[in-house]
Each structure stands twice: as C-alpha cells, then as structure tokens.
C-alpha cells in the first residue's frame, strides 16, 4: 500500500473507492495492520514537525529544538479493543485500534489536524488522546489540560470531548476547553452549539450558545456571557490579561510554564495589572516585564519553584 494513499486517508481526503481499497489491504494480514498503525503515528509526527517549523524564527528557541527531537516519544500508541476502524471491519471478533497521545511540554503549544479534518490547538502542559481513525458511529477524544477545537462538520457523526469530569458533544463548532484537573472545568463557545454534561450528574447538562462560557462552580454547571476574549489568545502564543489580580496572573504563569509561584509580598494582594506576555520568551522574561510596574523581586528556590518577594 502506497504511503501517499494512507496519508490521504488520515487527512480525511480519501474517496469511497480508496477507503474500500485500504480496508481490503488492512484485512489481508497482521503485517498490513501494523503498517497501518505505524503510518498513522508517522503522519502525526510529520504534522507536529511541520507546525513547529512554521513558527516565526524568534520562537524557535533551544528548548523548542530539543522538543522536536523528542516528538516521536510524545506520540504514544495505546491499543484498545474496538470492532471497527472508521467502517473498516477487520474481523468478526473485536480487534485493537491504535490511539495516539500528544503531550505538550510547559511553555509550548501544538496544532494538529485529526483524521476527520478537525483542527486542534493544544496549550502548554496539555494532553490529547485520539484514535488513528474514528469509528463509524462517533468521533471521540480525551483531553487533559486546555485546547481549542475547530470541529469539522459531520451531522451523521457527533464529536465528543471527554475533559475530566465533563463531556462535551458537538457536530461542528469552535470552542475552548480547560480541564487541567478533574474537578476544574470551563468551556467557551465561539460559534455553533455545544452540549456540556457533568458526568457525575448525567441528568445535568447545558446547551451552550455562542459567546457564552460554562464552568463548574460548587459542583454545578454555571453559564455566563463572555465579556473578554483575551484569555483565548494563547493560541497565538500570548498571555493577554486585563485588570487581573496579581495572584490570578501568577496562576496563569504556573499553568503555562509548569512552575510553582509563591507570593511572599503582601503589597501585591490588591494589585491589578493589564498587559501582554509572549509565552516563548519564558517565565523569567515575563516576571522581569511585570517588575517594571509591580515593584517586586523574585528568586528561584529550585528549577520549578519561584518566590515573589
């Protein structure tokens, strides 16, 4: 089987006859099946490399090049028993299907396109698991962290995101999801419609409309209008903030850079700040920029702990 044809399938552009041809080939032998899974993993690695090399030159730091060398290790193949691969009947008994897991290091972000054409941006310290090819009934992925989805429309096959305690269901839409911890969840809808369900209370769900957000507060899903879209600028490699408490801004830095920040300066408790920070510049550059107005000092206790004084 030609690699070009398999990659055409993975990008969601294969014709019906080509799908049939690949299905027959996959069913011919175990060797073909293994080649299929291996090529899917390779396809994802190529996408990640292409994304990184398209970044502006000033963003390609030593850390980023070091990450490029380890991308293959971040694409983890896990096998799960399912009956089919996007309509490919492999046998009469359940057969394994490959799942990829993309893990994004602190201070970085990743763009990728899934097999159905859905485009996904992953924020720092995030993890996305998804099948090499979606099955015939639905498209389902699992997220830990933060991601922005531009879901390819398919009225016959819903798209489901498992994000910690909540599940999101769509047909075609654009939305942001944040779920770094199981009981911490928020989602913001830019266009389309979005059904959000608290899996611990399956009867409790909300149908979100554009320019609204939903979050878990006191174990309840709460809907609020979006008045500021700047928090979603992370897709452009920016942390944008308006009149935010210093403590809350430090939480954003912790999330993006994978560090623990301890505030020992009580004068900063009531300090509110506005501005824009470039994630690729790193945590030290961000704190130095804030020092010009907030007047504080900071020290690293170790590689991952920073004290604000």
* Cβ within 8 Å of residue 137, ≥6 positions away: 157
If one counts every other C-beta atom within 10 angstroms of the C-beta of residue 70, the result is 10
The label of the residue with tokens 């301890």 reads 262
Greatest distance between any 2 Cα atoms in the chain: 70
126 near 107, Cβ under 8 Å? no
Under CATH, to which class is 230-308 assigned? alpha beta
* Cβ within 8 Å of residue 212, ≥6 positions away: 188, 189, 223, 224, 225, 226
pLDDT of residue 45: 59
Give the pLDDT of the chain (309 residues) as one tens digit per residue.
677 777 777 666 667 677 778 877 877 777 777 777 777 766 665 655 554 444 443 333 222 333 333 343 344 333 332 333 444 444 444 445 577 888 888 888 888 888 888 999 999 889 999 888 887 788 999 999 999 999 988 888 899 999 988 999 997 789 999 988 777 889 999 988 899 998 888 888 889 889 999 888 877 888 999 988 888 888 888 888 888 888 888 888 888 888 888 888 888 888 888 888 888 888 888 888 888 888 888 888 877 888 988
pLDDT of residue 155: 83
Q: How far apart are the first and last CA of the chain?
A: 62
pLDDT of residue 211: 92
Q: Where are the alpha helices (DSSP H) in 217-282?
A: 246-257
The label of the residue with tokens 């991952």 reads 304
pLDDT of residue 56: 43
| CA–CA dist 32, 6 (Å, integer) | 12
Residue among 73, 74, 52 nearest 63 (CA): 52
Measuring CA to CA, how many Å separate 92 from each of 29, 95, 157?
Answer: 15, 9, 23
| CA–CA dist 141, 162 (Å, integer) | 6
């Amino acid at each position: 089987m030609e690699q070009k044809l398999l990659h055409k399938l993975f990008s969601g552009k294969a014709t019906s006859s080509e799908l049939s041809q690949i299905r027959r080939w996959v069913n011919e032998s175990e060797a073909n099946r293994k080649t299929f899974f291996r090529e899917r993993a390779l396809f994802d690695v190529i996408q990640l490399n292409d994304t990184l090399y398209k970044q502006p030159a000033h963003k390609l730091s030593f850390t980023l090049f070091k990450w490029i060398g380890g991308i293959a290790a971040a694409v983890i193949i896990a096998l799960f028993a399912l009956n089919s691969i996007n309509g490919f009947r492999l046998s009469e008994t359940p057969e394994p299907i490959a799942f990829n897991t993309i893990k994004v290091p602190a201070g970085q972000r990743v763009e990728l396109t899934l097999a159905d054409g859905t485009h996904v941006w992953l924020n720092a310290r995030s993890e996305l698991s998804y099948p090499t090819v979606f099955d015939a009934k639905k498209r389902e992925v699992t997220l830990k962290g933060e991601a922005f989805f531009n879901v390819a429309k398919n009225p016959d096959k819903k798209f489901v995101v498992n994000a910690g305690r909540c599940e999101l269901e769509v047909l075609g839409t654009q939305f942001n999801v944040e779920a770094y911890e199981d009981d911490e969840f928020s989602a913001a809808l830019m266009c389309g419609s979005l059904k959000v369900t608290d899996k611990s209370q399956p009867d409790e769900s909300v149908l979100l409309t554009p320019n609204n957000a939903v979050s878990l507060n006191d174990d309840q899903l709460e809907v609020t209008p979006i008045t500021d879209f700047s928090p979603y600028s992370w897709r452009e490699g920016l942390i944008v903030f308006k009149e935010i408490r210093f403590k809350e801004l430090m939480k954003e830095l912790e999330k993006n850079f994978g560090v623990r920040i301890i505030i020992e300066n009580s004068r900063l408790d009531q300090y509110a700040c506005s501005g824009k920070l470039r994630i690729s510049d790193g945590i030290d550059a961000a704190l130095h920029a804030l020092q010009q107005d907030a007047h504080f000092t900071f020290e690293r206790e170790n590689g991952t702990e920073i004290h604000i004084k």
